[in-house]
Structure 1
């Protein structure tokens, strides 16, 4: 049996948004400015083309470009150790394998693989296992499982299925955007963290997941406040649990406000308004926002989080 691939190191990871121009073209200067701010904020890695990166709305060339731009801006600014994970989700096994190969060639170290969902009745547990194992067999980089029922027609992998997949030598972790801390704890308590990294996909369970053995977080909210998430992780590692809990309370409320605002366009609008780059343009059928939407909406917790982010 092949030796086990190494999982990504623990820490704060960001599924980065892909900034666009008004005519829905990729905005490279804003994408690069965002990656640089995240790296300067202390994140361990950037997830390119997660759901927040509008992966399903991009062509293969656009996917390759955003991965390459991300890797290059990191390398050229002294952040060679910041990990790049590429979302390679597609509806067929063949295209997913192709995307994994293209991700490697563009500079990604890991592939995050979403379970196909066009034909939910055919995605039995056995078929899901077969799909992920086949991808891992042929991917030139280690793969991670992306469990996000909201975007997979309700398909939600259970801990038994994930544990079976974790035995594969080239499957090294999971992003649990289901937010199920019980599932996370079942995985962390039965799988070696040196071989399989279990990340929550939501900031509102960040501290709870750390207490349950999670590897950090891969969540939307660090697009806005990377430094504050890194600070919470530092508090946890230093045993300053009261301080960590206080920050977690704010993250939980801010994450909820961001979801109400409309995650992807909301992230872009907040970043444009408070950090000076980008614009809240998205590709249809997603709905764009305006900077006024951010101003008039009640975002008291997000505003408090932004104030902290600018001072830590």
Structure 2
């Protein structure tokens, strides 16, 4: 197997997926969201990530989410925007099927969580074997998704990720563990041109870039994508004072979003401020209504959205 290429550096967003009240897809809102993100200049979109409620979708719905994203990007001239498809599943067999589906639906890369149903059985050897097996069969280049909060505490060590990075089809990782030390160990061992290490949250975006990351795959760009691209440009230009000031504001916004209710709160804020979509999520997630969005955390996000609307 020849060596696959990693995704280009930049800012990626794991998109929220909009539903109607009956929990069916709200197709116009899904397309409107993809278009707004692309117009903001984001490098890529992650479909079926944790923010996209992938675990709540059928296989057919997962394929449809990718297809709608690809069609929207292509129809509006954003063919260069990268699509990464979340393909984690409880078994290697299902993950392989999701990877094949992602290719057929138009994705460019896959992002795969470590299975966590049988936590005590997920030894180092089992983890290595799982990712290598699925990567062997994936028709798309493969990123490892490290997110202890949704994998029952499984937190891949840098040594494990580096060992997996030698696989010719494993080209990067998303670190939602928030560890800059781990990120820096990875980037100092392998540059992003060889193995792309992405910060998984906005609150360590600039810190990750300073440590050699390929950028970030983060939830907050669902709300303020232009501000994330502005920070990325400030970093590239070497304007670190302004970048650090903006990082502080975005870090506050990242924290505020989690306090307000994460996925449903993101949808409610988008609905309030950008004119599409509703706050509906699939149960057992709980809806955050517009009336619940008040107080200091909401005020922080209102400040950010005001800046976003004034950013060219």
- TM-score class, shorter: over 0.9
- Distance in 1 between residues matched to 2:21 and 2:35, nearest whole Å: 22
Assess, with a 3 A threshold, how the Cα gap between structure 1 residues 220 and 100 changes in structure 2: closer, same or farther.
Answer: same
- Distance in 2 between residues matched to 1:295 and 1:221, nearest whole Å: 18
| Map 1:248-263 → 2, pairs under 5 A | 248-263=247-262
The unaligned stretches of length 5 or more in structure 1 are: none
Residue number in structure 1 paired with 2:175? 176
Contact 1:85–1:108 at 8 Å: present in 2 too?
A: yes
Deviations 1:20-50 (A, max 9, x none): 0001111111000000000001100000010
* Secondary structure in 2 matching 1:46: strand
Deviation at 1:289, TM superposition (A): 1.3
Residue number in structure 2 paired with 1:22? 21
* Secondary structure in 2 matching 1:69: helix
- Distance in 2 between residues matched to 1:51 and 1:257, nearest whole Å: 18
- Distance in 1 between residues matched to 2:207 and 2:246, nearest whole Å: 12
- Distance in 2 between residues matched to 1:244 and 1:298, nearest whole Å: 22
Residue number in structure 2 paired with 1:244? 243
Residue number in structure 1 paired with 2:3? 4
Matched, 1:62 2:61: yes
Deviation at 1:95, TM superposition (A): 0.3
* Secondary structure in 2 matching 1:51: coil
- Distance in 2 between residues matched to 1:123 and 1:175, nearest whole Å: 19
| Map 1:156-235 → 2, pairs under 5 A | 156-235=155-234
Deviation at 1:297, TM superposition (A): 6.3
* Secondary structure in 1 matching 2:110: strand
- Distance in 2 between residues matched to 1:14 and 1:165, nearest whole Å: 24
Contact 1:5–1:171 at 8 Å: present in 2 too?
A: yes
Contact 1:48–1:85 at 8 Å: present in 2 too?
A: yes
Contact 1:204–1:255 at 8 Å: present in 2 too?
A: yes
- Distance in 1 between residues matched to 2:290 and 2:57, nearest whole Å: 24
Contact 1:5–1:195 at 8 Å: present in 2 too?
A: no
- Distance in 2 between residues matched to 1:75 and 1:214, nearest whole Å: 28
- Distance in 2 between residues matched to 1:192 and 1:261, nearest whole Å: 36
- Distance in 2 between residues matched to 1:79 and 1:287, nearest whole Å: 34
Contact 1:16–1:50 at 8 Å: present in 2 too?
A: yes
Deviation at 1:17, TM superposition (A): 0.3
Deviations 1:271-300 (A, max 9, x none): 000111000000000001111112456422
- Distance in 1 between residues matched to 2:31 and 2:273, nearest whole Å: 17
Q: Give the TM-score normalised by structure 2.
A: 0.98
- Distance in 1 between residues matched to 2:300 and 2:215, nearest whole Å: 22
Aligned residues: 311
Residue number in structure 2 paired with 1:93? 92
Deviation at 1:192, TM superposition (A): 2.8
Instruction: Please tell me the root mean square deviation across aligned C-alpha atoms, in Å.
Output: 0.8
Q: Tell me which stretches of 4 or more aligned residues in structure 1 moved more than 3 Å.
A: 295-298
The unaligned stretches of length 5 or more in structure 2 are: none
Contact 1:4–1:195 at 8 Å: present in 2 too?
A: no
